[in-house]
Every structure is written in structure tokens, then in C-alpha cells.
């Protein structure tokens, strides 16, 4: 039994400085600063050379024919579903970030939720197969927390239904599929986020990757209001352009990304080793020949085995000054924007269970190893005191 007393039971917090869930890691050097200065002085703040240079660099990095830089993953997904001309139903996971589903709703598509695999946290192809109907317009997968979903099985289903496979690859830029192919080369089209919580960030931004030249052409028009040039809009597009300063940030950071991802993998392994054999804590699983980006390190907490539930663990860690997130709780089908689509036929037991038990713990690319070790120690101490913490929580609830 450790001598430390959990802060939730009145002990001193393990960390004095609060530990955030994540923070962006940027390489700032004089080359970047002088590029920024050149851009600002030039007056070309958008639609310039930096955007084109970033798109070329990304095509090469991912090994794709077309990379379209946009203002966010959300706008990229909205435009992608729009430019694919989809009508009817779209099959997607409910255990994902809200923007996945929002892109479908903005396009007037009816969301049909398929359950996830409780080990990989990704949509289960067998459940997708059950959800397909003649009304299905597309299969929409997501690389949960930056680990690739089963793109082979999903692509097969999409091909059988003669519909596109769209992938929300938001957290997965730089990751690989089993066998080593880059994420970005899967499906009909993959859409990344470059927002500040992602391992590769341009402040805000997104990248659409596709080998479909016709789709890429439409997307470039779409990010420009739907105006192909003659001020006669072909369709209702968006302003979804990535500004030059953001593109420059991306271009300067891209060469450093593999090193950052390696470090993230190392830190995630350290979490895994630090919590190995701890009762009731299981990590998100994936094919060992894949390389996730670890946008998040996702754990499942079994209340019976661990002694307290996920929410109580989160409170106990907060008392130690350690931030966590209950991603994704509530899942999409429980959010107000989606409830009106419930026909009573959704069966999502694994999504329900995982949304109650999943927690993500702190990770950023230059996080010191000793912080991971401290967080693992604290989780062990909390587990050792689980019965006492559970009693305290029950008492507080009784008094409330």
C-alpha cells in the first residue's frame, strides 16, 4: 500500500502545476518567423504560395494524388459529403466527435448509427453491414483517437453497395494502416483536422486527401463559395480556405511530425507499461502493425474490477490536478441534435457501455516521461483506495 493519500480523500495533490490533457507542440525557428514576416509584408494573406506548397508537401508525405487544404476538418467533411452529391442515409458510428455527424446533418443526410467494436473503439464492419439499405448513400468511418478503423472491411462493404467510403481521419494525420500504408490513402476520401489538439496543427485547419481527381476539382471550387471563377456559383459552397499563415505553420512543422509521432508512441507505451496488470483498466486496442497518432490515449475503466467508475476516477484525478476527458460521452445518438432521427431501431450496446467507461488521459508530443510515470502512480494509488473513495462518494450523494 502506497503511503500517498489520494487528494479526493484529503491528501495533497500529486501535481502542483495542473497537467493539461494536451497542448500543441510547435517548432519555432527563425525560418518560420521570417516566412511569417514575408507573408504579412507581401499582403498575400490567403490563396497564395504557402497554400500550394503545403498541399504539394502533404501529397508527397501521404502518397496521395490530391490534398486540399481547408479551414477545418468540419468544413472539409461538409464539403466532401456535398461534393459527393449524397442523398438519403449515411452509416456512421455514434461513438465519435460531434463534427462527424454534423457534416452529415448539414448535407440533409439521415444518420444511421452502427455500433463499435469495444476493443478498438472503432465502428464494427459487421454492424455496418447490417445497417446498409438501398437508401444508403455512403459509409462513413472514423479513426477513433488516431488509430485506424478497419478500412479494408469497410471498403469492401462500400464497394458491394456501390457507395463511397468517407473517412473522418481528423486525429490521424501521420498515422499508418496495418502494413504501413499512410492514413489518407484509404477509402474514397479522408479528411484530417489540423486544430490545436491534434498532433499536426496549423492553429485551425483541415486537409482533404483523395485520389479522385474529379472530386478534388469540385472540392477546390467548394472551398471557394462554389465559384469556379466566373462569379456564377455552381453550388452553395463555403469559404473554407486555409490562410497563408496557417499553411506556413503546417509546411514548417511537417518535417518534424514523424519525430513527434514516434515520441507519442513511446509515451503511450509508457502508459501501457505503467498500468499493466492494473485490475479494471484496459487500453484501446489496434492491429500491432498499424501506427496510431495517439491524438488521445483511450482507456476503459471497469467499475467492478477497478473499484470505482470512470466518473469517480475523473474526479479523483481532477483533485490531483490531472485533466482527463470523457470522450465520447454523450455519444452522438444521445445528443439533442440527433435524437429526432431515432426511429427506435438503433441498437448500440457497445457504444452505450464505452461512453460510460472510456476516459482519455494527458498526452502531448513533448510531454516529459516523468509526468506519465506520475500519472500512472496516481492511478494506482487511487485504485488502492477505491473502496474508501467509493464510500466517500456514496456518503456525499446521501448527504446531497
CB of residue 148 to ligand PLP, shortest distance in Å = 13
CB of residue 293 to ligand PLP, shortest distance in Å = 10
Of 346, 293, 306, 360, nearest to 92 by C-alpha is 346
Q: Can you give the length of the chain in residues?
A: 400
* DSSP state letters, 194-260: -STTSSS--SS-EEEEES-HHHHHHHHHHTBTT--SSS--SS---B-BPBHHHHHHHHHHGGGHHHH
Q: Does 332 bind ligand PLP (CB under 6 A)?
A: no
Q: Report the alpha-carbon distance of residue 264 to residue 134 in Å, rounded.
A: 42
Q: Positive or negative, the Cα torsion across 165, 359, 367, 246?
A: positive
**Secondary structure tally for the chain: helices H, strands E:** 15, 10
Query: Which CB sits closer to ligand PLP, 205 or 307?
Result: 205
- What residues from 53 to 82 belong to the interface with ligand PLP (CB under 6 A)? 72-74
- What residues from 117 to 146 belong to the interface with ligand PLP (CB under 6 A)? 142
CB of residue 26 to ligand PLP, shortest distance in Å = 17
Query: Which CB sits closer to ligand PLP, 93 or 161?
Result: 93
* DSSP state letters, 302-365: -HHHHSS-HHHHHHHHHHTTB--B-TTSS-GGGSHHHHTT--S----HHHHHHHHHEEEE---T
Q: Report the alpha-carbon distance of residue 300 to residue 285 in Å, rounded.
A: 11
Query: Which CB sits closer to ligand PLP, 142 or 386?
Result: 142
Is 255 in contact with 54 (CB distance < 8 Å)? no
Query: Which CB sits closer to ligand PLP, 175 or 206?
Result: 206
CB of residue 99 to ligand PLP, shortest distance in Å = 4
Q: Report the alpha-carbon distance of residue 259 to residue 246 in Å, rounded.
A: 21
Q: Which of 97, 121, 173, 364 binds ligand PLP (CB under 6 A)?
A: 97
Q: Does 338 bind ligand PLP (CB under 6 A)?
A: no
Query: Which CB sits closer to ligand PLP, 79 or 248?
Result: 79
User: In the stretch 175-214, what mask flags binding to ligand PLP with x, by CB under 6 A?
Assistant: ------------------x-x----------x--------
CB of residue 74 to ligand PLP, shortest distance in Å = 3
User: In the stretch 24-53, what mask flags binding to ligand PLP with x, by CB under 6 A?
Assistant: ------------------------------
Query: Which CB sits closer to ligand PLP, 172 or 386?
Result: 172
Q: Which residues contact 133 (CB under 8 A, 6 or more apart)?
A: 89, 112
- Give the interface with ligand PLP as residue ranges (CB under 6 A): 72-74, 96-97, 99-100, 142, 168, 170-171, 193, 195, 206
Amino acid at each position: 500500500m502506497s503511503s500517498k493519500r489520494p487528494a479526493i480523500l484529503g491528501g495533497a495533490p500529486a501535481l502542483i502545476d495542473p497537467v493539461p490533457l494536451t497542448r500543441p507542440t510547435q517548432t519555432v525557428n527563425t525560418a518560420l518567423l521570417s516566412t511569417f514576416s514575408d507573408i504579412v509584408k507581401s499582403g498575400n494573406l490567403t490563396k497564395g504560395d504557402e497554400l500550394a506548397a503545403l498541399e504539394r508537401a502533404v501529397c508527397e508525405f501521404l502518397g496521395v494524388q490530391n490534398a486540399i487544404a481547408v479551414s477545418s476538418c468540419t468544413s472539409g467533411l461538409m464539403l466532401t459529403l456535398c461534393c459527393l452529391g449524397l442523398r438519403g442515409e449515411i452509416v456512421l458510428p455514434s461513438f465519435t466527435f460531434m463534427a462527424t455527424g454534423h457534416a452529415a446533418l448539414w448535407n440533409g443526410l439521415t444518420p444511421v448509427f452502427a455500433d463499435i467494436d469495444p476493443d478498438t473503439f472503432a465502428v464494427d464492419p459487421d454492424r455496418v453491414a447490417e445497417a446498409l439499405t438501398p437508401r444508403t448513400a455512403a459509409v462513413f468511418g472514423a479513426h477513433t483517437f488516431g488509430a485506424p478503423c478497419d478500412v479494408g472491411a469497410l471498403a469492401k462493404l462500400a464497394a458491394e453497395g456501390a457507395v463511397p467510403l468517407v473517412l473522418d481521419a481528423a486525429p490521424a494525420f501521420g498515422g499508418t494502416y496495418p502494413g504501413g500504408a499512410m492514413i489518407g490513402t484509404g477509402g474514397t476520401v479522408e479528411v484530417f483536422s489540423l486544430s490545436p489538439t491534434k498532433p499536426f496543427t496549423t492553429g485551425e485547419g483541415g486537409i482533404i486527401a483523395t485520389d479522385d481527381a474529379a472530386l478534388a476539382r469540385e472540392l477546390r471550387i467548394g472551398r471557394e463559395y462554389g465559384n469556379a471563377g466566373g462569379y456564377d456559383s455552381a453550388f452553395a459552397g463555403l469559404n473554407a480556405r486555409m490562410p497563408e499563415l496557417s499553411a506556413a505553420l503546417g509546411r514548417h512543422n511537417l518535417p518534424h511530425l514523424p519525430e513527434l509521432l514516434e515520441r507519442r508512441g513511446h509515451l503511450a507505451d509508457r502508459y501501457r507499461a505503467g498500468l499493466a496488470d492494473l485490475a479494471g483498466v484496459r487500453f484501446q486496442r489496434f492491429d500491432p502493425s498499424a501506427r496510431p497518432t495517439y491524438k488521445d490515449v483511450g482507456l476503459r475503466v471497469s467499475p467492478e474490477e477497478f473499484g470505482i467508475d470512470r466518473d469517480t476516477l475523473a474526479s479523483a484525478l481532477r483533485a490531483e490536478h490531472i485533466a482527463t476527458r470523457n470522450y465520447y460521452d454523450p455519444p452522438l445518438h444521445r445528443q439533442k441534435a440527433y435524437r429526432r432521427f431515432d426511429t427506435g431501431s438503433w441498437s448500440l450496446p457497445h457504444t452505450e457501455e464505452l461512453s460510460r467507461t472510456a476516459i482519455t488521459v494527458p498526452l502531448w508530443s513533448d510531454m516529459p516521461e516523468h509526468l506519465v510515470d506520475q500519472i500512472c502512480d496516481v492511478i494506482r494509488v487511487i485504485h488502492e483506495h477505491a473502496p474508501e473513495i467509493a464510500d466517500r462518494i456514496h456518503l456525499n450523494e446521501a448527504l446531497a
